[in-house]
């Protein structure tokens, strides 16, 4: 018996080492990755990446900063880079990729990208964001859709209401939910979440062209125009359907309110879906997903990506392996099944994904063809963080101050943007 046990242990030890050896890369290195994924579903998604890298013989060093939306992570990254000790990779996205690339601190991953034919795999709207001076300096992990409305199906039934597709229907449903004693809207009052709701309202009220002119071109006539006034009024109207604890609330808490049926509806990107699934809710059955009212086939996107910093030769191999792994079909599928988002590669099959993800993929694909893909303002895809922050200050004041009119807020929005972007035409 004992001998059998020893033999088994010895066998296992050999198997382990052979396995480790066969997976060992030419040069094992370390990847230290800064990210702000800390909720249980997000940590699950990161675990997929750690496992992939470890299986290649590299060491993973976690640099996790628990802060949804990533504001704090960016600050900490700044000080690490300043002190000459950058991580291997960092979760930086959108406009900030270009800002970081301009500092000269990023390392090109164009060699990997060319070898793996990323240009053929990625939609141009995505690859453009990942490149600086024509070279890839970032690798995308996923596509999150921001303009989602989530509805608790049981609450909706009880309220005897139908999923809203316009803003007037939204407020009717909210009334019906209030009548049955449920908080109509699970609201998270944090900067990036306020802005996420605000941009979704803008997309529904003003449409894609308005969104583009206001948030991408920062056209003062549109930023301060009648559509913006209407957007602000509609946004503020949501407030009466939220509860007293909304200010400062974390998105995970709001998602939990929706899951439990304490609240009936929530406007948020599909990272929230991952937490719903974690709580045993079935997307499109227990919690319904529809584009936010009026936004239809338009799609505001938030793409998570890693930028790479200059590292020593030994870790350079690990860094390239990280980039390659992130873009592999297997990883894109596994990561996004856990994360709530969809693969950034359009050649990954969707048969294992839920109905909401499939709809997201379809709208993303159609949106690309019809010019309906819009970079999310709230998630740094459209403007630098300081411009978004200046806009948020105005939005927040408007939300909090009952005496401020929508006209006044629209005028202030123009001024705030002008102060932040002296070279734009928002003068």
3-class DSSP assignment, residue 405 = coil
Q: C-alpha angle with apex 231: 227 to 233, nearest 5 degrees?
A: 115
- Report how far residue 387's alpha carbon sits from residue 398's, in angstroms, rounded to the nearest whole number: 17
Give the range of 58-66, 68-76, 225-233, 305-313 binding ligand GAL by CB under 6 A: 68-76
* Smallest separation, CB 146 to ligand GAL (Å): 9
Q: Near ligand GAL by CB under 6 A, which window of 62-70, 104-112, 162-170, 387-395?
A: 62-70
- Which range, of 63-71, 181-189, 223-231, 391-399, touches ligand GAL by CB under 6 A? 63-71
Q: How far is CA 316 from the centre of its chain?
A: 27
Residue 94 interacting with ligand GAL (CB under 6 A): no
**Cβ 364 to ligand GAL, closest distance in Å?**
15
Cα–Cα nearest to 345, from 112, 109, 42, 127:
127
Checking DSSP bridges between strand 287-291 and strand 30-35, what pairing results, if any? unpaired
Nearer to ligand GAL, 58 or 144 (CB): 144
Angle at 138 between CA 132 and CA 143, to 5 degrees: 115
**Which distant-in-sequence residues (6+ apart) come within 8 Å of 261 by Cβ?**
152, 154, 155, 182
Q: What is the Cα gyration radius of the chain?
A: 23
Shortest Å, Cβ 427 to ligand GAL: 30
Q: What angle do CA 214, 217, 223 make, to 5 degrees?
A: 25
Taking the CB of residue 240, how many other CB atoms lie within 10 A of it?
12
Annotate each residue in 317-336 with x if it binds ligand GAL (CB under 6 A) or - if it does not, as one string.
--------------------
Considering the complex, state which of residue 176 and residue 391 has its C-beta at the smaller distance from ligand GAL.
391
Q: In this chain, which of 145, 249, 281, 379 binds ligand GAL, going by CB under 6 A?
A: 379
Nearest CA among 382, 384, 373, 413 for reference residue 397: 413
Task: Compute the least distance from the CB of residue 150 to ligand GAL, in Å.
Answer: 14
- Least Å distance, CB 144 to ligand GAL, is 5
Task: Give whichever of 161 and 337 is closer to ligand GAL, judged by the CB atom.
Answer: 337
Q: Strands (DSSP E) along 141-201, which ranges?
A: 144-145, 148-152, 183-185
Nearest-approach distance from CB 56 to ligand GAL, in angstroms:
24
Output 69 or 184, the one with its CB closest to ligand GAL. Answer: 69
| Minimum CB distance to ligand GAL smaller for 125 or for 404 | 125
Minimum Å distance from CB 37 to ligand GAL? 5
Piece of the chain touching ligand GAL by CB under 6 A; list 67-75, 173-181, 320-328, 388-396? 67-75
Out of 271, 299, 306, 399, name the contact with ligand GAL by CB under 6 A: 271
Determine the Cα–Cα distance for residues 71 and 234; give it in Å rounded to an integer: 27
For the chain, the residue count is 427
The binding track of 275-314 with respect to ligand GAL, each residue x by CB under 6 A or -, is: ---------------------------x-x----------
- Alpha carbons 401 and 405: distance in angstroms, whole number: 9
Among 29, 68, 220, 225, binds ligand GAL (CB under 6 A): 68
Half-sphere exposure of 305 (CA within 13 A, CB side): 29
CB 264 within 8 A of CB 206: no
Contact by Cβ (8 Å): 211, 374: yes
Question: In angstroms, rounded to a whole number, what is the distance separating the alpha carbons of residues 239 and 262?
Answer: 17
Q: Which is nearer to ligand GAL, 69 or 283 (CB)?
A: 69
Neighbour tally for 164: CB within 10 Å: 21
Q: Does 69 contact ligand GAL by CB under 6 A? A: yes
User: Which 130-169 positions form the footprint of ligand GAL (CB under 6 A)?
Assistant: 144
| Residue 89: CB minimum distance to ligand GAL, A | 15
Question: How many C-beta atoms lie closer than 10 Å to residue 85's C-beta?
Answer: 10
* Residue 199 sits in the site that holds ligand GAL (CB under 6 A): no
Q: Contacts with ligand GAL in 22-61 (CB under 6 A)?
A: 37, 42
| Closer of 64 and 81 to ligand GAL (Cβ) | 64
Which residues make up the interface to ligand GAL (CB under 6 A)?
37, 42, 68-70, 144, 271, 302, 304, 379
């Amino acid at each position: 018996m004992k001998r059998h046990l020893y033999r088994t242990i010895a066998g296992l030890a050999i198997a382990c080492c052979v396995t480790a050896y066969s997976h060992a890369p030419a040069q094992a290195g370390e990847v230290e990755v800064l990210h702000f994924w800390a909720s249980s579903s997000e940590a699950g998604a990161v675990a997929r990446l750690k496992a992939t890298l470890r299986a290649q013989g590299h060491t993973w060093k976690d640099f996790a900063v628990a802060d949804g939306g990533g504001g704090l992570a960016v600050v900490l990254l700044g000080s690490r880079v300043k002190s000459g000790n950058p991580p291997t990779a960092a979760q930086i996205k959108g406009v900030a990729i270009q800002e970081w690339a301009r500092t000269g601190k990023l390392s090109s991953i164009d060699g990997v990208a060319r070898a793996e034919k990323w240009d053929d795999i990625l939609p141009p709207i995505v690859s453009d964001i990942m490149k600086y001076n024509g070279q890839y300096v970032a690798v995308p992990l996923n596509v999150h859709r921001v303009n989602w409305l989530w509805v608790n199906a049981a609450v909706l039934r009880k309220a005897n209401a139908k999923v809203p597709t316009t803003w007037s229907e939204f407020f009717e449903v909210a009334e019906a939910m209030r009548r049955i004693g449920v908080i109509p809207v699970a609201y998270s009052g944090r900067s990036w979440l306020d802005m996420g709701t605000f941009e979704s309202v803008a997309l529904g009220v003003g449409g894609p062209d308005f969104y583009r002119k206001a948030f991408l071109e920062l056209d003062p006539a549109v930023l301060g125009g009648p559509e913006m006034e209407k957007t602000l009024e509609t946004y503020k109207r949501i407030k009466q359907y939220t509860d007293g604890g909304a200010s400062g609330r974390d998105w995970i808490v709001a998602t939990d309110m929706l899951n439990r049926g304490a609240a009936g509806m929530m406007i948020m990107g599909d990272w929230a879906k991952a937490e719903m699934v974690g709580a045993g809710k079935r997307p499109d059955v227990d919690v319904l997903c529809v584009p936010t009212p009026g936004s239809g086939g338009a799609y505001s996107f938030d793409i998570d990506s890693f930028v790479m910093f200059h590292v020593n030769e030994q870790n350079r191999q690990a860094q390239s392996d990280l980039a390659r792994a992130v873009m592999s079909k297997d990883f894109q599928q596994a990561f996004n099944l856990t994360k709530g988002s969809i693969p950034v590669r359009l050649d990954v099959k969707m048969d294992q994904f839920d109905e909401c993800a499939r709809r997201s993929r379809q709208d993303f694909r159609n949106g690309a063809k019809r010019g309906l893909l819009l970079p999310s303002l709230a998630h740094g895809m459209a403007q630098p963080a300081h411009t978004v922050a200046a806009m948020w200050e105005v939005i927040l004041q408007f939300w909090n101050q009952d005496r401020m009119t929508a006209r006044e807020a629209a005028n202030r929005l123009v001024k705030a943007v002008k102060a932040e972007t002296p070279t734009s035409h928002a003068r």
